[in-house]
A and B are shown apart, each in its own frame.
Chain A
Amino acid sequence: MRRPESNYPALRTRPNPTTRGRRLCYGSMTRSPQVDDHLAALLRRVANRDADAFADFYDHTSARVYGLVTRVVRDRGYSEETTQEVYLQVWQNAANFNPAAGSAMAWLLTLAHRRAVDRVRAEQAATQRDSRYGSATAERAADVVAESAILRQERRQVAECLDSMTDTQRECIELAYYGGLTYAQVSERLSANLATIKSRMRDGLRSLRNCLGVT
């Protein structure tokens, strides 16, 4: 008789300690520690030039990277180029990832955001165009995403937490983070002094962080 279970000698059922039996309120982490551990492990392999691990890492992260880059850069062709540059940077610099300094996803998205902002600023410098910024003009591309259950769940939590900020806080953060403006430019645009802008950014992000339960 076939005993296929003998391929699985260890019974390792481990309920996720952050979510097990707990109501899925905004105090629960939206991403499981296992996912972060998995991504960190993949990056270690990528640092050793493991192409399979790189493909896996790409598959787990590219929707977030491409979506963020698109939101900032707003041009499809440039967004693809920028995303490609981001992953080449990952391939070359995966060894620089330090798990003690933060999660793999945060490391990756910091890198992606920096590149996207650099791209937008370079374009602005080149064309001196009067760019349109902000959520009102930003494409709601997220609506068309085919999404996994997990992503959908995270998105719902994030959407509700974005509402935990005041409108002025959200405006500041969106102009900077999605619009690529410096805090000094945000201050100019909103005719508010620098200290006000800095505290709106800080307080808004703290509300968001508390709401999302990010530790």
Chain B
Amino acid sequence: MTEPTDFELLELATPYALNAVTDDERAAIERRVAAAPGAVAEAFHSEVRAVRETLSVVAASTAVEAPARLRARVLTAVATPHRRFRWRTALLAAAAAVVIGLGAVGVGLALRPAPTPSTAEQVFAAPDVHTVSGQMPGGGSATVIFSREKNAGVLVMNDVPPPKSGTVYQMWLINDRGPASAGTMDARAVAPSTTAVLPDLRHSTALAFTVEPGSGSTKPTTPIIAQLPLI
């Protein structure tokens, strides 16, 4: 049975989760939750958790790239003599869109360096925007955010390892007439977070990835390693 005092305790879950209590209040609330009936404690924790998860999503709206000197300070502070950090030239994974160097492949080259703000913004603002994600077999993930109305998409690759030396990743837009090259990425182009615009989706139903020798092929010469359905 839930007593009035339990209701009062549950009402404090939101201020507690917002850190909108004094240290004394926080300690008192934690004591009361510890002493409360199981169901009440569970309801309290569940509310706190929901508030915190919500706020963690809201944090996207206040995100600001931290200064590079801060990264250096933080990482140096925890460095031990036995380990060295992999210093990255890219500042942050969540930072600016990474420009991709592309070899021109065939006639169907569709992938361009960097999301020009206009195309990417148009896609994100489109009423029919869709997102599709998949794991890459060698690790990392690929996501395409796309709009049929805008006939464009944005490809985001996170933590995808670079292709083996002498090969490139090649992207293919697939329609009922087969695959058309959407560009290639070599080892230098693959960063912890790589973004590229797909400006012309037309009737393609999937974006496929292959590993191609040299600087790419006009048609896939190896099996598809990953495919994202554009539906």
Contacts and interface: CB of A to CB of B under 8 A. Distances in A.
Given A5-B223, A8-B137, A63 B54 contact: no
A110 B97 CA distance: 28
A215 B212 CA distance: 41
Contacts of B18: 173, 176-177, 183, 201
Contact of A202 (B14, B60, B222, B225): B14
Interface in B113-166: 115, 120-121, 124-125, 128-135, 137-138, 141, 143, 145, 154, 156, 159, 163-164, 166
Contact of A142 (B64, B67, B125): B64
Contacts of B97: 146, 148-149
A146 B95 contact: yes
A49 B80 contact: yes
Contact of B145 (A15, A55, A84, A153): A153
B34 interface: no
B52 A109 contact: yes
Nearest to B74: A87
Given A59-B92, A63-B63, A146-B95, A8 B57 contact: no
B132 A64 contact: no
Nearest to B195: A149
A192 interface: no
Task: Give the size range of B's interface with the partner.
Answer: 35 or more
Contact of A23 (B25, B95, B96, B128): B128
A19 B78 contact: no
A105 B121 CA distance: 26
Nearest to B73: A84
A189 interface: no
B133 A34 contact: yes
B95 to A, nearest CB: 5
Contact of B60 (A15, A71, A151, A177): A151
A154 B62 CA distance: 11
A60 B167 CA distance: 28
Contacts of B211: 4-5, 7-8
B interface: dominant SS: mixed
A150 interface: yes
A181 interface: yes
B134 A14 contact: yes
B22 interface: yes
Contacts of A20: 131-133, 229
A116 to B, nearest CB: 9
Interface in B149-204: 154, 156, 159, 163-164, 166-167, 192-193, 195
Contacts of A106: 49, 52-53, 55-56
A80 B128 CA distance: 40
A32 B134 CA distance: 11
Interface in B26-57: 45, 47, 49-57
A66 B64 contact: yes
Interface in A1-42: 1-5, 7-16, 19-24, 28, 30-32, 34, 38
Given A59-B71, A101-B45, A148-B96, 10 more contacts: A5-B223, A16-B134, A22-B130, A64-B60, A67-B64, A105-B59, A148-B156, A153-B124, A154-B60, A212-B58
Interface of B: 11-15, 18-22, 25, 45, 47, 49-67, 70-71, 73-75, 77-80, 83, 85-86, 88, 92-97, 115, 120-121, 124-125, 128-135, 137-138, 141, 143, 145, 154, 156, 159, 163-164, 166-167, 192-193, 195, 210-213, 222-229, 231
